[in-house]
Structure 1
Amino acid sequence: MDVLDAAAVRAWAVAARRALELARDRIDAVNVFPVADRDTGTNVLLTVTGGADALAAAPDAAGADEAARVLARGAMLAARGNSGVIVSQYLAGFARALVPAAGPADVARALVAAARAARESTGDPQEGTVLTLADAVGQGARVAVDAGAGLDAMLRQASADAHGSLAAISAAHPLLQAAHVVDAGACALLVVLDSLTAAVEGAEGDLDLDWLPAAGPRPAAAPDEGGAYEVMLLVSASGGEDLADALLAAMRRVGDSVAVVGTEAIWHVHVHTDDPEAAIEAAALGRREQVVVRLVDAPHLPGTWPVDPPERGSRWGVVACTPSAPLARWYAGAGAVALVACPEVPVRAGHVLRAVTDTGAASVAVLPGEVVSADQLGTLLDDEHAGPVVEVLGAADELAVAVAALALAGSEASAVRTRAAVEALSRLRVAEGADASAPAVVALIDVVRDVAPDAEAATVLHRDPLGAGVSAEVAAAAELRGLEVAFVGPTGRGPAVVVGLD
């Protein structure tokens, strides 16, 4: 093939998705940077899957540039993790530099532009990683074009050079060198680029992935030093202004592993932080949506999903929907994926499905709270998505979401715990007040206990930080009444205090 056209880009998307499905476990196995959370292969697969799905659903494009833009935008919207964000921006840079029918020199320029775009998307570019490998691919492509190579030969040569330099590139990074592994992000990008070569050559069958390390035990790595929570969200600009630099600067102030990618006035923001609320607030430079918060070391996708539809598994995931950014940390700490509603954009079924996938579980309990409408819930349950089995629990307000999250708390949520959460919600009795002092809270507990004498647990949802000694005094009073008490807050909104007994 002498030129890269729209049909070749479509073939590339299909081939890359299939290759990443096969390569995911091996790439995950060597993931130690920027955080050893064993999810780089999974994140890039989900990212590229989003792009491939968007391209498959779009009308036939007139040229390679148009098809690549659709692929890149779908990947950006679906991007997972630092690695997925970087790969999506690589695809966006590649697309922006393409022409409708791209010859060898055009594609080489696009590969150079892609490497530059990926580097610019990160808050702290690190050498010895996928960014260095992307530079090497672009340089190799230019050398091959200058030597007169056609499109097929140029891509083969650039890929071969990158494979040959992968070990040396990774050894230049201290963490990767100490762990004796190659960079997982670089491996994922090589799989994507090998798929481009295969598509241009019209190759059939699966890629040769024998060069990848075998999946096995997690390699040794230095202790993680980044933030405990991963925050990802979309930010769009109402006036079309470029928010990339401002978002990068804002995220650098609140965390690390920062990446910001965007196309057509919408940006995907990624950061690891110990203060999710600060990250969410710092992103309020435009309209915020699809705000997802979870623990960095939370479980990721099981088995072969999304290669095959998962069976109903024993471990359940939890999605807690909340309008309270301050509570995102609490829900994530309880083992849930927190989906935070911002005032600019209503929560839609697609946002919930994104959070559902991010639980990494084959079965997921969704706690809709006050932020997911009945119409969107109907769409969620009716949607024939290939993925986790979704069960929506009757948690219609913040207190109910908190009670259910407590019942499901931990990394071993199961069908048994899910039933326990449903039963807890059915027993829940509630009272609210305007005074969050200890005597007032204890009085509310007694009011509710009159109608729920058999209750065993109390949940205290508070809007503002509790005064000194309040928690201890309330807990002691609750213990005398045979109740275990959990404090949830501050929520930053709603009544001063809401007490629930079950």
Structure 2
Amino acid sequence: MPHPLDADAVRTWCALALQALGRERERIDAINVYPVADGDTGTNLYLTVESAARAVEAAFDGHGASGTAPDLADAVGAMAHGALIGARGNSGTILAQLLRGMAEILQTEDGTGPGGSAAVLKRALRRAAESTYEAVAHPVEGTVLTVATAAAQAAERADGAPAAVARAAYEGARTALDATPGQLAVLGRAGVVDAGGCGLVAVLGALAGALSGEVPTAAITVRPDAPLPVAGGCPAAEGNGAGPERQHGDEADPDGDLDGPAFEVIYLLEADDAAVARLRTRLDALGDSLVVVGGDGLWNVHVHVDDAGAAVEAGIEAGRPYRIRITHFGTPDGGGRGARRRAPEPAARAVVAVVPGDGLAGLCAEAGATAVTVRPGEPPASGELVQAIRQANAREVMLLPNDPELRHTAAAAAEQARTEGVRVALIPTRAAVQGIAALAVHEPARSFDEDMVAMTSAAGATRYAELAVAERQSWTMAGVCQAGDVLGLIDGDVVVIGSDLAETAVTVLDRMLSAGGEMVTLVLGADFPDSLADRLERHVRERHLAVDTVVYEGGQRGAPLLIGVE
């Protein structure tokens, strides 16, 4: 049965899009030849939509606690924000901007005007297509941009309810996708359609399904040598019969030149519009495939460069970059730009750790670990952890979730990685300080099982605490707290309610060390005063003999101080 364009439809749309991209992920990866033949477009789109879907579910959960349901504006706002913070790769970043463009219309128009909800959906699809061109520094036809425009044009010609408009957009996108090999030379040579456009077709098919109750099941044209002939609505173009080797190793630009930057750099950025405008100009001079999406002070930046450090420094000058991800496209055969690249040999063992701040991410990097940096209220999805495990490029991986709330997410990621041939040990770390302790005893030269036991033991022998500031009045195990109170938590439970950061920290330290300890680890938050850290070190030295203290600049938000006692 047709469904109105409301919050429930957005929720269903996200779920169906995630299912469709899950089915198509490997196939889209296999036809990924533009802008870089790195075989990850399907995965990046899946991770982006997974983040959007999680945000929508969180919006429903938040309203459910108050006995109300989110409205359309709440749902599409959550979807757009989730996609923005979780966008991966060139394709995922463009999809995030497309969803944001739709949200701009759906959040401000309620469908009561001329044409009703169908007219609003048409305008949303048109704004989505326009916004993608605004986000890309140098738009190229024959890509997802062309497919999005064709979808909007087809929607505008449609009559009837929102379901009919969505179906027309889907059909228009399919037709445009079939034509992409004739518009972009690299696609024609490889005999494939645009991978990003293929993903958009799947997403629009999910929208049509959410509004009509019938998920499209159009016939697919598949080359005889296509590696993954599965159903789902993303046809491979008839062409020259190029096989998978050609698809993954072909040129990255439409002119057939083998030149191309070595690194993909992605980060979230807190900055104002003027600073972002300057950033676009600077990054455009540094590399290519530049896409900057977002607004209202939060942006997702994506660029391909040879100098990854310069791209990050440009972000630092513009504002505050975080969740920085740098990916090498491969190891050059000849050692220079323009050489054909191959994937590096996998390492024997690696560590992947979830950390709450850039400082801890840097600490992990120094120790040779792959860090997944998160912010309060923005937990990583399982797909993001799987991607980090892949990025670690090792046959064996120690996974440190560092948060009890991530136990199931990390377990799902570990299981997925195991199906891909990676041996994964999930170390039961419940806090970042336990992760630091586990990382300190990590020894790749040991056997896998011995290393797992040593890291687990080190984590288990570390008690953890943190300071937090109460956002509202609430009941705790230590009594009633008021907004603005400083809370001291030990092993996850509130044990101290104070008014002063220093006094609360000292009380928590004394309580933890009353049971003994040899080492105190202090991880300072982004705004924690250095003078207070010195005071805490002095207190431990004077009051607790033979206890050493180590201090790290964690940079985390939300928790001014993390404490570990071993």
Matches within 5 A, 1:89-168: 89-98=97-106, 99-101=109-111, 103-144=117-158, 148-168=159-179
Quick one: which of 157, 174, 187 aligns to 1:176? 187
Quick one: which of 282, 293, 296 aligns to 1:261? 293
Offset at 1:40?
A: 0.6
Q: Residue 40 of structure 1 aligns with which residue?
A: 41
> CA distance change for structure 1 residues 209 and 249 in 2, over 3 Å: closer, same or farther?
farther
Q: Residue 469 of structure 1 aligns with which residue?
A: none
Please tell me whether residue 288 in structure 1 is matched to residue 314 in structure 2: no
Tell me the alpha carbon deviations over residues 409-459 of structure 1, each in whole angstroms, 9 at most, x when there is no partner: xxxx9948967998xx9xxxxxxxxxxxxxxxxxxxxxxxxxxxxxxxxxx
Counterpart residue identity of residue 187, structure 1: C
Counterpart residue identity of residue 398, structure 2: A
Offset at 1:111?
A: 0.5
Quick one: which of 249, 265, 275 aligns to 1:231? 265
Please tell me whether residue 215 in structure 1 is matched to residue 227 in structure 2: yes
CA distance in 2, matches of 1:251, 1:329: 24
Contact in 1 for aligned 2:372/2:388 (Cα 8 Å):
no
Matches within 5 A, 1:60-79: 62-79=70-87
> CA distance change for structure 1 residues 15 and 394 in 2, over 3 Å: closer, same or farther?
closer
CA distance in 2, matches of 1:273, 1:325: 22
Identity %: 35
Detail structure 1 runs of 4+ shifted over 6 Å in the superposition: 324-331, 345-349, 351-355, 392-395, 416-422
> CA distance change for structure 1 residues 163 and 270 in 2, over 3 Å: closer, same or farther?
same
Contact in 1 for aligned 2:133/2:139 (Cα 8 Å):
yes
Structure 1 residue matching 2:286: 3-state secondary structure: coil
CA distance in 1, matches of 2:193, 2:205: 17
Matches within 5 A, 1:308-327: 318-319=351-352, 323=359
Structure 1 residue matching 2:142: 3-state secondary structure: coil
CA distance in 1, matches of 2:217, 2:347: 33
Contact in 1 for aligned 2:147/2:197 (Cα 8 Å):
yes
**TM-score after normalising by structure 1:** 0.65
Offset at 1:279?
A: 1.1
Counterpart residue identity of residue 73, structure 1: H
Offset at 1:297?
A: 4.2
Structure 2 residue matching 1:387: 3-state secondary structure: helix
Q: Residue 359 of structure 1 aligns with which residue?
A: 388
Q: Residue 26 of structure 1 aligns with which residue?
A: 27
CA-atom RMSD in angstroms: 4.1
Contact in 2 for aligned 1:27/1:184 (Cα 8 Å):
yes
Structure 2 residue matching 1:268: 3-state secondary structure: strand
Q: Gaps spanning 5+ residues in structure 1: where? A: 299-312, 368-375, 426-502
Counterpart residue identity of residue 200, structure 1: L
Matches within 5 A, 1:347-426: 350=379, 356-361=385-390, 364-365=397-398, 377-379=402-404, 382=407, 384-385=409-410, 386-388=412-414, 390-391=426-427, 415=448
CA distance in 1, matches of 2:162, 2:45: 26
Contact in 2 for aligned 1:317/1:359 (Cα 8 Å):
no
Q: Which has the higher contact order (CA 8 A, sep 6+)?
A: 1
Q: Gaps spanning 5+ residues in structure 2: where? A: 64-68, 229-243, 253-257, 332-345, 415-424, 459-566
Contact in 1 for aligned 2:29/2:42 (Cα 8 Å):
yes
CA distance in 1, matches of 2:259, 2:450: 33
Tell me the alpha carbon deviations over residues 125-154 of structure 1, each in whole angstroms, 9 at most, x when there is no partner: 11110001111111111122xxx3432223
Offset at 1:276?
A: 1.6
CA distance in 1, matches of 2:409, 2:363: 31
Counterpart residue identity of residue 156, structure 2: R
Q: Residue 487 of structure 2 aligns with which residue?
A: none
Tell me the alpha carbon deviations over residues 349-381 of structure 1, each in whole angstroms, 9 at most, x when there is no partner: 9479886433244963369xxxxxxxx834477
Offset at 1:315?
A: 7.5
> CA distance change for structure 1 residues 200 and 355 in 2, over 3 Å: closer, same or farther?
closer
Tell me the alpha carbon deviations over residues 271-319 of structure 1, each in whole angstroms, 9 at most, x when there is no partner: 2222221111110111221112222349xxxxxxxxxxxxxx9985544
Contact in 1 for aligned 2:267/2:321 (Cα 8 Å):
yes
CA distance in 2, matches of 1:93, 1:328: 36
Offset at 1:29?
A: 1.0
Matches within 5 A, 1:462-473: none
Q: Residue 59 of structure 2 aligns with which residue?
A: 58
Tell me the alpha carbon deviations over residues 98-123 of structure 1, each in whole angstroms, 9 at most, x when there is no partner: 22346222111111100111121122
Contact in 2 for aligned 1:141/1:158 (Cα 8 Å):
yes
Matches within 5 A, 1:430-445: none
> CA distance change for structure 1 residues 41 and 346 in 2, over 3 Å: closer, same or farther?
closer
**TM-score after normalising by structure 2:** 0.58
